[in-house]
Structure 1
Amino acid sequence: MSVPREVDLLIEARWVVPVEPHGVVLEDHAVAVDGGSIVAVLPTAEARAACAPRERVALGEHALIPGLVNAHTHNPMTLLRGLADDLPLMVWLRQHIWPVEGRVLGPEFVRDGVELAIAEMLRGGTTCCNENYFFPDVAAATYRRAGFRATVGLPLIEFPSAWAKSRDEYFERALAVHDDFRGDALIGTAFAPHAPYTVSDQAFERVRMLADQLDVPVHLHLHETAHEVEEAKRETGLRPLQRMQQLGIVNDRLIAVHMTQLTDAEIALCAEEGVSVVHCPESNLKLASGFCPAEKLRRAGVNLALGTDGCASNNDLDMFGEMRTAALLAKGVAGDASAFDAAATLHAATLGGARTLGLADRIGSIAPGKRADLAAVRLDPLETQPLYHVVSQLVYATGRQQVSDVWIDGRRQLADRALTGLDADALRAKARAWRERVAAIGG
């Protein structure tokens, strides 16, 4: 008789949804974790015989899924949740958000906003995000301190901010942050030029060169609104994606966010060049920005991810809500009830996001050799009964409040809905203090 293998953790679940293979649900399975890595996925009876865990977690009526990947966020803006609702994008941005940020933006704002966002994401089953905001050094340090996985954007924009005063300073500070977190187990970096309408050709050319040299992604708002595209055509004679192609930005490092205005030729270009598209349906709906043709992109072979965008325009970081909205919206846009089905939607929220960030070999599915970024979801509440199809239920009927437990790198971050490393009362007090400060400046 073979001796059971000692492992750190054995999670036994009623259902394991590995995402790879596509659409598969494993009933009465267990995931063995050691050293933060998944070492086996086995039927529960076999796992009990094969493993000697230091800790065993039994999830009798749960689905165990890969941790969700929020592929586009501005998480410090969680502190601006609900500040200027029901306004068009450019009015919202230029007349409300940017002026308020000009008064409050700094390291303390970023730290406190990121901490609040981490708590919200963990309680909703999200274990990784793609951050895009100022003071990336503070954001990265905050994510690392909390044990949260993140790709942190290195911001670039043509006007001065509290983070940098000139184009050269943006690049200098970006490279310093990249060097500080090079090789970190949880924190990666990406260049984050804001958008084609706020970044010059010269800056984009420098981004392309550095992204190639450093092998990091480029995280870019692109084709977000019809107004953006029409304005670009008037000013440059080119649609923004065409301009990016001429500047060498359109390749397999590009993370193109929003993409609500696309021709069939542009979709084909994205597929050919290996571009990843991040679909942010709820933010696009709330700002009336347009509809990303998610099903057309998927059928063309473009890698799709999902993002919430920031709390100032969503107004939450709820990836379960985002999945449901993405699936329903895709059907309406495509005129096809079979479009963007539940399995494809869950894929976009997990492995699609991991591929977008260059992390598909580490996270995004439940497989031996990958890191143990996992979320347990209760499926026995009355609201998810009766249960016929687990993946459909996760996408169409499950709320984020049904997430009970979360692990990142094998470390339990949420235990029966309780945060293990963050003080909820302290976070609440900080959020209320920021509310008073922002309200006092007329926000």
Structure 2
Amino acid sequence: MSQTTPQSIDLLIEAHWVVPVEPHGVVLEQHAVAVQADKIVAILPIAEARGAYAPRERVELGDHVLIPGLVNSHTHNPMTLLRGLADDLPLMVWLQDHIWPAEAKVMGPEFVRDGVELAVAEMLRGGTTCANENYFFPDIIGATYRRLGFRAVVGLPVIDFPTAWAKSADEYFERAIEVHDSFLGDALITTTFAPHAPYTVSDESFERIRVLSDQLDIPVHLHTHETAHEVEDEKKKSGLRPFQRLQKLGLVNDRLIAVHMTQMTDGEIAACAEAGVSVVHCPESNLKLASGFCPAEKLRKAGVNVAIGTDGCASNNDLDMFGEMRTAAMLAKAVAGDAAAFDAAYALRAATLNGARAVGLEDRIGSIEVGKQADLAAVRLSELETQPLYHVASQLVYATGRQQVTDVWIAGRRKLASRVLVDMDVDAILGRTHAWRERIAAHA
């Protein structure tokens, strides 16, 4: 009888559990994920994998669960350097009296680069492998993510006042197109339009964004319906709620990534579902700024794609997607008055595949499936804080801390190995961070 020769591959990861996310709610025991170059080529029982493959590297994770890398669907990661600068303040006071003035003093390429690098280190140690970014100097942001081998969707900012990035509407759009074109075909970096919010962007700019979004086939990522005050101001100004204004301008479609959405009518929820809008729920930022409560369970029941984001470290203070999943699930239950709402399996989906769908990458990432990119995170569940273990998904969402993430891969490349960052100089990152703290504190 002829014996089949094991196939040579780059990597075989063996885990006690694999949670692929798709199919929904499935937990595979004693399974392995086979990786060749940057792609997943098989998911199969460990015993079968050992007979079928001859890996150049084998990683055995006997007490771990392997999950898709988490997708942080709304970030302002250069603002990691503003962590804790102006806490315990309402949104507009926080933004207009503290954050914008601080940014005006320090914003530039070096601030953006160093803030992103600090954020990448934090995200990797928490199992996050993709961020949907929204900040100025997107050229520097994209280049930094690419240099660090981190997957990112880079927002092309548009706002109706001059900044260090651009001085006029025309310049915002000219530079946006340049940055978009510079990352075309990049393996890790894609782009979105990132108009700040309806209250800071004109109809004319939104109309240009709609046309360019269609032409370039890229999403539109913006804050909207973040607070009741924002909605009332827009009604006084235009006679429309912000969402109605976006509908009138043709922006409510399957490319829209609507962030926060704490103030929603049943009609607006239905319109989001019908149009294919993705809503990014940022529960901890909304709670800290007392912005309101996103009706996450109503959105889920209506069929809206609900993703999860941390927002920036200036309003949330961390980039912890495990904490965000837990808060999202618990808050959804309280808002809905239903303990069964936004269950653990859905919370994990919102932090992975739904996020990938929101940013247009669901064909590449967000689940452990053959043909997808090998963006993976290993989480050790043997810690006393996660014992005894009855249900893996519940334990991940309700009991697991980000410090239990031990290993991370992006496009098949190890970025975190036994809690140690690969190819990142932590001491140098901390040194630059301390220098920025001194400079920013002096201005503040």
Q: Which TM bucket (shorter chain)?
A: over 0.9
CA distances 1:115-171 after superposition (whole Å, capped 9, x unpaired):
000000000000000000000000000000000000000000000000000000000
CA distances 1:29-86 after superposition (whole Å, capped 9, x unpaired):
0000001100000000000000000000000100000000000000000000000000
* Structure 1 residue 183: Cα displacement: 1.0
Please name the residue that 2:23 is paired with: 21
Letter matched to residue 76 of structure 1: P
* Structure 1 residue 319: Cα displacement: 0.1
* Structure 1 residue 393: Cα displacement: 0.1
Q: Distance in 1 between matches of 2:140 and 2:28?
A: 40
Q: Distance in 1 between matches of 2:422 and 2:348?
A: 26
Where do residues 266-277 of structure 1 align in structure 2 (5 Å cutoff)? Answer: 266-277=268-279
| Structure 1 counterpart of 2:158, from 141, 156, 159 | 156
Q: Secondary structure at the match of 2:365?
A: coil
Letter matched to residue 409 of structure 1: A
Gaps of 5+ in 2: none
Query: Is 1:38 matched with 2:40?
Result: yes
Q: Distance in 1 between matches of 2:441 and 2:315?
A: 18
Query: Is 1:135 matched with 2:137?
Result: yes
Please name the residue that 2:323 is paired with: 321
| Structure 2 counterpart of 1:118, from 114, 117, 120 | 120
Please name the residue that 1:190 is paired with: 192
Query: Is 1:255 matched with 2:295?
Result: no
Query: Is 1:435 matched with 2:427?
Result: no
| Structure 2 counterpart of 1:179, from 178, 181, 187 | 181
Q: Distance in 2 between matches of 1:97 and 1:183?
A: 34
* Structure 1 residue 388: Cα displacement: 0.2
Q: Distance in 1 between matches of 2:303 and 2:440?
A: 44
Q: Which runs of 4+ in 1 moved over 3 A?
A: none
Letter matched to residue 154 of structure 1: L
Q: Secondary structure at the match of 1:405?
A: strand
* Structure 1 residue 2: Cα displacement: 1.3
Please name the residue that 2:6 is paired with: 4
Q: Distance in 2 between matches of 1:416 and 1:35?
A: 21
Please name the residue that 1:144 is paired with: 146
Query: Is 1:214 matched with 2:240?
Result: no
Q: Secondary structure at the match of 1:162?
A: coil
Q: Distance in 2 between matches of 1:14 and 1:103?
A: 50
* Structure 1 residue 12: Cα displacement: 0.2
| Structure 2 counterpart of 1:52, from 51, 54, 73 | 54
Letter matched to residue 208 of structure 2: R
Aligned residues: 442
Please name the residue that 2:241 is paired with: 239
Letter matched to residue 19 of structure 1: V
* Structure 1 residue 382: Cα displacement: 0.3
Letter matched to residue 110 of structure 2: E
Q: Secondary structure at the match of 2:369?
A: coil
Q: Secondary structure at the match of 1:238?
A: coil
* Structure 1 residue 237: Cα displacement: 0.1
Q: Distance in 2 between matches of 1:56 and 1:37?
A: 16
Please name the residue that 2:374 is paired with: 372
Please name the residue that 1:203 is paired with: 205
| Structure 2 counterpart of 1:307, from 309, 328, 339 | 309
* Structure 1 residue 360: Cα displacement: 0.6
Q: Distance in 2 between matches of 1:399 and 1:426?
A: 26
Q: Distance in 2 between matches of 1:294 and 1:131?
A: 22
Q: Distance in 2 between matches of 1:357 and 1:47?
A: 33
Please name the residue that 1:296 is paired with: 298
Letter matched to residue 239 of structure 1: R
TM-score (norm 2): 0.99
Q: Secondary structure at the match of 1:207?
A: helix
CA distances 1:276-312 after superposition (whole Å, capped 9, x unpaired):
0000000000000000000000000000100000000
Q: Distance in 2 between matches of 1:9 and 1:428?
A: 32
Q: Distance in 2 between matches of 1:376 and 1:290?
A: 34
CA distances 1:345-397 after superposition (whole Å, capped 9, x unpaired):
00000000000011111000001000000000000000000000000000000
TM-score (norm 1): 1.00
